[in-house]
Amino acid sequence: MIDDEALKDYQRVRQMAIRSLFEIVEESSEGTVIVDREARIVWMNERYARRFGLPNAEAAIGKPCESVIPASLMRDVVQTGQPILLDLLDTPKDQLVVMRLPIHDQGGLIIGAIGFALFDELRNLSPLLTRYQSLQKELASTRSLLQTRRAKYSFSHFIGTSPASLAVKRTARRSASTDSPVLLLGETGTGKELLAHAIHATSVRAHKPFVSVNSAAIPESLLEAEFFGTAPGAFTGAERKGRLGKLQVAEGGTLFLDEIGDMPLSLQSKLLRVLQEKEFEPVGSNEMLRSDVRVIAATSTDLQDAVSRGDFRADLYYRLNVLPILVPPLRERLEDLPALCEAILEELQSGDSAPRELGSDALALLARHGWPGNIRELRNVLERAVLHCESATLDAATLQQAIGVLAPLPAGQAAPAPTPVSQDFYAARDAFEKQLIENSLATHAGNVVEAARSLGLGRSTLYKKIIALGISSPFVDESTNVDSAS
């Protein structure tokens, strides 16, 4: 309990502190002004009056603050009751750093405002401004890094409606909903990195970085530093401030390890620790750092065979092989050739010219090739053919020249039936889509929802294709309202 004498002493000390604070600020500031509730000047010190060209402070009394101090915001403080603690005021001479505070009476009503010009030179704020600019640069750098580390592809970029392609997309979509490691298996050029991007873009980590490391493209002596970073001065030639590793750059996001089968055994044990314990040490450091990354690995080698040879750790293989996805080679999904060719030719389109088209004989030739280089080889062949052909339609002779010697298809695998010569590329594509959709609808007894799911399409998209291709019963349930689906 505070007695009356103590309370009086408290109030006296408070009044003295307020008076002292005002005197200190007023003496050290470049100018002070007080206005009433109508924003008319009731007091101004001499330094401030001379700054605005007045003969003395008395000449400012009773005038609206804006008529003496152009661009003044004292009226805003009076009207809103909100202080403006730090602001820049432009004056004919130079800029001032100012502070504006409302004044209340004993009942809490606003009766005016007081303003202080704290500095007349911005260098007094240089430490604050320097820190602000530094934070702005760091923020811009972080935003730029996140922008460059975004996923570049989605599942729509993995083109194909063959059963093999649809099965891969379904499995990859399911893997996007978990944080478990994913192991992408398949030959080079099949689209493993594209799938890794798509999985990240569909996951809850999509707003975080996607960082890719190719184990086969970095010298073994540098791989450890590339993965885990380095402490300051860890070795001769190391950066003085240290260097972030890919694990730190990918924090919160996804780390894609391409060609992991080529990773040295010494590094495999450290990667296993990251996967199991979620921690690692930078090179040359004794500090243990926590790691929150989702790992997606890819390889074109047979990891089981590498394990049996002793070239790959069995425990790391089992830790990565939680969600294996086998990406089929192009020769096992030749049904996707029409759609793949159309997409690639659109990408190769130059200027305002229309994209090149494939003749039916050219498409039939492509279906007889074994494609050892898979989709990467297909793109290379089409690009070469476009550069060597001036015609709008690419024929079989042009593509034969671009391919060279046809690689044989696996024994027992026949090429798809050739498209009739009378049919152009788009007609052949439509016929293929119609047959595929009709087969799916027949398999699911006309259930459009189930057929769309098996094809990897949205229900409304499938309805639109059904209408465009003229597909009717017995495949389509006529009782379903097409318009409601779109």
pLDDT in tens, 142-183: 555 555 567 788 888 999 888 999 999 999 999 999 999 999
Mean pLDDT of the chain: 82
pLDDT in tens, 467-476: 888 776 444 5
pTM score, whole prediction = 0.58
Residue 477 lies in a domain: yes
Residues 322 and 334 in one domain: no
CATH number at residue 313: 3.40.50.300
At residue 48 the predicted structure's pLDDT band, cuts being 50, 70 and 90, is confident
Neighbours of 47 (CB within 10 A): 16
At residue 134 the predicted structure's pLDDT band, cuts being 50, 70 and 90, is low
Residue 4 lies in a domain: no
Confidence at residue 171, expressed as pLDDT on a 0 to 100 scale: 93
Residues 390 and 433 in one domain: no
Residue 461 lies in a domain: yes
How large is the average pLDDT for residues 235-245?
A: 66
At residue 292 the predicted structure's pLDDT band, cuts being 50, 70 and 90, is very high
Residue 50 lies in a domain: yes
CATH number at residue 98: 3.30.450.20
Domain of 252, in residue numbers:
155-232+244-326
Residue 132 lies in a domain: no
Residues 401 and 476 in one domain: no
Confidence at residue 296, expressed as pLDDT on a 0 to 100 scale: 96
Residue 2 lies in a domain: no
SS3 assignment for the chain: CCCHHHHHHHHHHHHHHHHHHHHHHHHHCCEEEEEECCCEEEEECHHHHHHCCCCCHHHHCCCEHHHHCCCCCHHHHHHHCCCEEEEEEECCCCEEEEEEEEEECCCCCEEEEEEEEEECCHHHHHHHHHHHHHHHHHHHHHHHHHHHCCCCCCHHHCCCCCHHHHHHHHHHHHHCCCCCCEEEECCCCCCHHHHHHHHHHHCCCCCCCEEEEECCCCCHHHHHHHHHCECCCCCCCCCCCCECCHHHHCCCCEEEEECHHHCCHHHHHHHHHHHHHCEECCECCCCCEECCCEEEEEECCCHHHHHHHCCCCHHHHHHHCCEEEECCCHHHCHHHHHHHHHHHHHHCCCCCCCCCEECHHHHHHHCCCCCCCHHHHHHHHHHHHHHHCCCCEECHHHHHHHHCCCCCCCCCCCCCCCCCCCCCHHHHHHHHHHHHHHHHHHHCCCCHHHHHHHHCCCHHHHHHHHHHHCCCCCCCCCCCCHHHHC
Among 1-5, 22-26, 340-344, top mean pLDDT goes to 340-344
pLDDT in tens, 396-423: 889 999 998 888 877 656 555 544 444 5
How large is the average pLDDT for residues 237-242?
A: 61
Domain boundary among 72, 106, 125: 125
Residues 405 and 459 in one domain: no
Domain boundary among 278, 300, 326: 326
Q: How many structural domains compose the chain?
A: 4
Residues 173 and 321 in one domain: yes
Confidence at residue 326, expressed as pLDDT on a 0 to 100 scale: 95
CATH number at residue 477: 1.10.10
Residues 170 and 319 in one domain: yes
CATH number at residue 334: 1.10.8.60
Residues 116 and 212 in one domain: no
Residues 161 and 295 in one domain: yes
Residues 315 and 260 in one domain: yes
Residues 476 and 340 in one domain: no
Domain boundary among 326, 349, 368: 326
Residues 57 and 29 in one domain: yes
Residues 65 and 93 in one domain: yes
pLDDT surpassing 60 at residue 482 = no
At residue 124 the predicted structure's pLDDT band, cuts being 50, 70 and 90, is low
Residue 456 lies in a domain: yes
392-418 burial, b at 16+ Cβ within 10 Å, e below that, comes to eebbbebbbebbeeeeebeeeeebeee
More confident residue, 45 or 438: 45
Confidence at residue 421, expressed as pLDDT on a 0 to 100 scale: 46
pLDDT in tens, 340-378: 999 899 888 877 677 788 888 888 899 989 999 999 999
- In the chain, pLDDT over 90 holds for what percent of residues? 36
Residue 468 lies in a domain: yes
